[in-house]
Every structure is written in C-alpha cells, then in structure tokens.
Amino acid sequence: MHMADALVSPAVGGIMLAASAGAIAYSAYKCKDDLDEKKIPLMGVMGAVIFAGQMINFTIPGTGSSGHIGGGILLAALLGPFPAFLALTAVLLIQALFFADGGLLALGANIWNLGFYACFLVYPFVFRPIIKKAITPTRITVASIVSVVLALSLGAFSVVLETLASGITELPFATFVGLMTPIHLAIGLVEGIVTGGILVFVYKMRPELLESSAENKKLPMNISIKKVIGMLLIFAVVMGGGLSLLASSNPDGLEWSMAGVAGTPELEAVGDVYENAANVQESTAFLPGYTFKSSGEEGSAIGTSLSGIIGGGITLLLAGGTGYLIYAVKRKKEKAA
Amino acid sequence: MSTITESLNTINSLEEMAEGNTIIHRLHPMVKLITTMLYLVLVISFNPYNITGLMVFAFYPIILMALAEIPYKPLLKRLLVALPFSFFAGLSNIIFNQQLALMIGPMPVSYGVISFISIMVKTIFTVMAVLILIATTSLPKISYQLLSIKVPKIIVEQIMLTYRYISVLLEQVSNMYTAYILRAPDSKGIKMKDMGIFVGQLLLKSFDRAENIYIAMKCRGYDGNYLYAKPSPLVKIDWLYLLLVSGILSLMRFFDLSQFIGSFL
C-alpha cells in the first residue's frame, strides 16, 4: 500500500508532507514532555521489529496465499499512539530510502495513510475503549480485528483519494474504490486476527506491557477529538478540492484535459512544454474527421509529437553515452594512476 | 527466508556504496538532499501526456551514477521491485483511456499508452534518484541534516536507532524462522495460527533487548539526549554544485530537448 513518488502530483505530495509533518511535530512535542527516556530505545527497537516483522510471511489456511503484518495498530497498542506514530515514521523513511518502498515525496502520504489513522483515530477511539473495561483475550482479539480492518480501509480509501487528486491514474472513482475496498477488507481481517494473536500472547506472558500502554500513567492519552477532526477536515477539503477540479474539467469522466490534470498554472507559462501538450491535445480534436495518412496541417501536429518521441529516444541515447563517457574517462585515469 | 537475506544484502550493499570517495560522495549531504528533492518535484510535475520533455531527465541519474561510480546491477534490481505497483496503476490508464493520440506508422497510440509510459518513466527516474542519494550519502549523515532543518530530535533518534537495529532484528527473525522451518519441514511458511506466538516471542525478546540497550546507554552517560557534532558548513564546491545542478534541472524542466532534437528530423 506504499504509494510511489510517480503516483502523486507535487501538490498532493506537498500537502500530505505538510499534514504528516504537523502530526509528527505534535507527537514529538507530546513525547518530549511526557515520554520516559527509557522508552526512546524501546521505540527504536520496536520500529526495527515492525520492519523485520513485515518480512515474515505466514501462510493463510485454505487459500494457498501468504500475508504479512502491517504493524500500525500493534505498535500503538504496545507503545501508545504518539510514540507509535514516530516509530512508524522512522520505519517508513528507511523503507523509502533503502527499499524504494514508497518515495520521498510520497512519504507524507504514506505516513498519513499507514500511521495517522491507526495511531490517532482507530487506536484511541476504537481499540482503547474496547479493552478499557477489562483486558481479556477475547476483547483484545475483537479490538485488534476491528481496529486493523478500520485502519487499513481508511488508509486504502486515502490512497484512492490521493491518487485521484493527483490525476495520475485514470481509473474512475467507483472502480478504484471497488477494487481497493474488498482486497483491504480481506487483508485487514487476516492481519487483524494475527495482530490479535500476537497481542494476546504478549498479554499472557507479560500483562504489564499492554496494561501500562492502555492506561499509560506517564503519557496522557487524551487525544483531543477536535484536533483529529480538524485535521481530517483539512484533508477532506484538500482532496475534495483536487477531485472536483478534475471532475469539472472532465465532464465525461474519462478524457482528462491537460489543465485539469496538471492543475498548476505555471505549466501554462512553459513555452515548449505547453505547446507540445497543446499539440497532442489538438491532434485529438482532429481525430474523428481525419485519416492520419494525409499530411495536412493536423499531420504536422502529429508529426511534431512523433518526431518528439524519436527525439526522446535520441536524448536517452545521449544520456547513456554521456554516462559511458564518464565511466571510460574515469577508468582511463585510474589506469594511468 | 529469502526476503530477509535480500533486505540484509540491500542494506549492506547500499551502506558499502555510501562509503565511496568520489566527487559526489564528498559533497555536503544537505546539497544532495536539496537537489534530489528538486529533481523529484520537477520529474513528477510533468503532465501525464508529456513524455518527450521528461526524457532529458535521464541525464541526471546516469551522470550521477557514473560520477559516483555506483554499479548498475544492484540499483536496477531494487528498481525492479518498485515497478509492479506503478505498472498496474499505469495499466488501468491503457484500459480506461483509449483515445487515439497519434500514429506511429500503422500503429495507433492512445493517450492511455502515453500516460502509462509516463508513469513508468517517472517511477524509474524517481526511484533511481532516491537510491542514488542513499548510495552516496549514509543514513546517519542524512539524519544529522534533518536536525539542521529543525526536524525534532526525537525523530532523528528514532531513525538512527531503528536503522541500527534493523539488521540485528532481521538476523534474529531469520534464525527464528530457520528454527521453525526445521521443525515443520512441510510448511511453506509460518502457519497463521503460529504467528501470534512467533511475533509475540520476537516482541518479548525485543523488549528485553531494549531494556539492555537502555542500561548500556545509561552506563555511557545517556540522559535522554543524544549528543551530535555540529554539521560542517557548505564549502565552495557545494555551493557550485547546488547552483549548477538546480539551474540545469530547472532549465531541463522548461526546455524540451527531445522536441528540439526531433525538430531536426
């Protein structure tokens, strides 16, 4: 579910980075005042555990397929929401840098999708209330399943909104949601059961670990619902804005016009690029009436794009050649030295 | 387990690469961070139907890899892992946008195909740029730079600690996995019903480990704060690189070299 850089627009990437940075700053502020210094190495190690834990594939009975854990709810249950959010952020950054899992620009979106909902929405308002009255294996299991399913669905839904607002994929909204929701419900169910199993085991062996984070004397857990709703509202407005921008410029919902997709006014100021875009666009307008074999005016419009594509190939060759040249020169120098 | 060994290898090989001593490695980490971010923004700012303008951005990763003497193979391998998701996201464009854009000889090319190519090219470029950054700048160096742009200390500590312990934990998981598989030879992986105990054990061990780490840190004078050396200032060559590369990248964004070359054909 990690989004890649190539699938977000600069605007969406930037907004999500800002939103996540806000949540990180707030968590850091909370942790700074209230966190036991003992918890700092624990958070680091737990981040590493989640990282390694995601690589353990388990077999799902009756399906022949395998799954792995996500870890947002697990971390929140063991560390509390604020430290869990920070630990997840570190994991996601490392995954983006070393494993090309998500990108640097999409990092904000990924932190939001995989961390925000789990730590600040589902954990405090679903998970904790369920186990608050009494911590029992059944309650832990139920809380885990419900929480993981919810957190995952919210995250998946955000992926849909962010991708659509970025205007990169042309999947219609309904189809996209229809594809993402059932898959993530199923994944969430399996992951929720496993998360429950892990937490029940930990509870049986070391009950104080769960109890302390559920009650948490040192860290105040009162997350203000106003703040969470406020942040969600901003998210909704921005994404809604991005989507309606697209929708208004695409009355038929399929043909995505240049301006709507790019969504940035600066693009229009760009001479060559804009012209090129306009050329491509122009050629569609001519489409129904003309055959492509005749080389009229519209032929030249298409010719530009075609020659542009050949030019693109030559550009790539040039780039490759430059790289090779640098290698060759370096090698020669090494030999001489 | 193959994924675990692979991850360990990836981290190790990238770490080794970052220890190189080329002109790119010697640059100030901040400069590399800024130019990488600029490159990413410029690449993804292209609209989905402009692939000719995008091509010139191939120069950046190729020249950097040559200058930094980064071997191609490991980076390409990582790239392959990153491609499938973009591939499927792009594939939908081919299905949903079949409007004809142009003809290459007798072959029709739809807008969907163009935007599909655009997504794939963007994925390759952005992934390469990030991998080049980490292959020429070690994570600790990047993390320290985060401090100077006022990222909270606790986050930087998190990144450093997690990064330090990833290889330790991966090895532990790998050992536990081997132990499990030796006792369940017919199993293709860990059975779902055993996952609770498996990861639970890992968690308990890790809690103890964290406790020991804390005690060890305490013994060495840890008082809740990490101590950092002041990052070195930018020198002339750093400024030169920063200005030159951002200038060229910005130019590349607004000048379509492919169309320019194509206009001579």
Contacts 24+ apart (CB under 8 A), B148-153: B148/B30, B148/B231, B152/A24, B152/A25, B152/A28, B152/A29, B152/A32, B153/B225, B153/B226
Question: Is B195 close to A9, i.e. CB distance below 8 A?
Answer: no
Q: What is the pLDDT of residues A100-127, one digit of tens each?
A: 888 899 999 999 999 999 999 999 999 9
Q: Domain tally for chain B?
A: 2
Q: Which of A259-268, A300-309, A314-323, A328-337 has the highest mean pLDDT?
A: A314-323
In 3D space, the residue among B126, B6, B106, B104 whose CA is nearest the CA of residue B54 turns out to be B126
Please give, rounded to a whole number of angstroms, the shortest distance from the CA of A193 to a CA of chain B.
9
What CATH number does the domain located at A5-249 have? 1.10.1760.20
Residue A289: DSSP 8-state? G
Which chain A residue has its CA at the smallest distance from B161's CA?
A: A44
Q: How many CA atoms lie within 13 A of B194 on its CB side?
A: 15
Please give, rounded to a whole number of angstroms, the shortest distance from the CA of B150 to a CA of chain A.
10
Q: Is the dihedral of CA A124, A126, A127, A129 positive or negative?
A: positive
Which chain A residue has its CA at the smallest distance from B171's CA?
A: A52
pLDDT at A290 over 70: no
**What percent of chain B is predicted at pLDDT more than 90?**
32
Q: Evaluate whether residue B224 is within a structural domain.
A: no
How distant, in Å, are the alpha carbons of A78, A333, B180, B202, B210 from that of A211? 9, 65, 30, 19, 18
Residue B8: is it exposed, middle or buried by C-beta count within 10 angstroms (0-12/13-18/19+)? middle
- Boundaries of domain holding B212: 152-219
List the single residue in B43, B55, B131 with the smallest CB-CB distance to A100: B131
CB atoms within 10 A of CB A205: 14
Average pLDDT for B230-253: 90
| B118/B158 same-domain check | no
Q: What is the pLDDT of residues B133-170, one digit of tens each?
A: 999 999 988 888 888 888 888 888 889 889 988 988 99
Q: What is the full DSSP assignment across B60-93?
A: HHHHHHHHTT--HHHHHHHHHHHHHHHHHHHHHH
Res A224: pLDDT: 67
Token output for B132? 């080049």
Contacts 24+ apart (CB under 8 A), A21-24: A21/A108, A22/A231, A23/A85, A23/A111, A23/A112, A23/A115, A23/A116, A23/A120, A23/A231, A24/A85, A24/A86, A24/A89, A24/A111, A24/B152, A24/B155
Q: What is the pLDDT of residues B217-236, one digit of tens each?
A: 889 888 777 777 777 888 99
Least confident of A163-177, A285-299, B4-18, B25-39: A285-299
| B138/B167 same-domain check | no
Q: Evaluate whether residue B226 is within a structural domain.
A: no
Helical residues (DSSP H) of chain B, grouped into ranges = 2-18, 23-26, 29-44, 52-55, 59-67, 72-96, 111-136, 139-148, 153-183, 192-219, 236-254, 257-262
A142 phi and psi, to 5 degrees?
-60, -50
Between A217 and B8, whose confidence is greater? B8
| B141/B166 same-domain check | no
pLDDT at A75 over 80: yes
A231 alpha carbon, distance to own chain's centre: 17
- Decide: A18 and B167 in contact? Cβ < 8 Å: no
Residue B13 touches partner A, C-beta closer than 8 Å: no
| B117/B11 same-domain check | yes
Res A257: pLDDT: 35
How distant, in Å, are the alpha carbons of A8, B42, B73 from that of B129? 16, 12, 15
- Decide: A222 and A216 in contact? Cβ < 8 Å: no
pLDDT at A269 over 80: no
| B163/B131 same-domain check | no
State the distance between the two ends of chain A, measured CA to CA, in whole angstroms. Answer: 49
Please give, rounded to a whole number of angstroms, the shortest distance from the CA of B183 to a CA of chain A.
15
Q: Evaluate whether residue B225 is within a structural domain.
A: no
Residue B258 touches partner A, C-beta closer than 8 Å: yes
Q: How far apart are CA A300 and CA B18, in angstroms?
A: 49
How distant, in Å, are the alpha carbons of B71, B79, B85, B132 from that of B82? 18, 5, 7, 15
A305 sits in the region (left: phi over 0; alpha: psi -120 to 50; else beta) called: alpha
Number of A to B CB contacts under 8 A, please give it.
404
In 3D space, the residue among A11, A190, A17, A175 whose CA is nearest the CA of residue A96 turns out to be A17
Question: Is B263 close to A307, i.e. CB distance below 8 A?
Answer: yes
Chain B environment of A194 (Cβ under 8 Å): 192, 195-196, 199
Average pLDDT for A305-309: 71
Interface test with A, best of B149, B258, B265 (most A CBs within 10 A): B258
| B63/B182 same-domain check | no
In 3D space, the residue among B201, B238, B215 whose CA is nearest the CA of residue B24 turns out to be B238
Interface test with B, best of A286, A315, A317, A318 (most B CBs within 10 A): A315
| B127/B159 same-domain check | no
| B9/B111 same-domain check | yes
pLDDT at A292 over 60: no
| B204/B175 same-domain check | yes
| B32/B51 same-domain check | yes
| B63/B178 same-domain check | no
What band does A252 get if pLDDT is binned at 50, 70 and 90? very low
Task: Give me the residue spans of the domains in chain A.
Answer: 5-249, 288-336
Chain B environment of A98 (Cβ under 8 Å): 10-11, 14, 134, 139
Length of chain A equals: 337
Q: Evaluate whether residue B31 is within a structural domain.
A: yes
Res A336: pLDDT: 80
| B200/B179 same-domain check | yes
Q: Evaluate whether residue B264 is within a structural domain.
A: no
Least confident of A128-132, A288-292, A302-306, B191-195: A288-292
Q: Evaluate whether residue B117 is within a structural domain.
A: yes
Question: Is B14 close to A99, i.e. CB distance below 8 A?
Answer: no
Interface test with A, best of B3, B199, B204, B213 (most A CBs within 10 A): B199
Least confident of A85-89, B170-174, B226-230: B226-230
- Decide: B96 and A254 in contact? Cβ < 8 Å: yes
Q: Evaluate whether residue B169 is within a structural domain.
A: yes
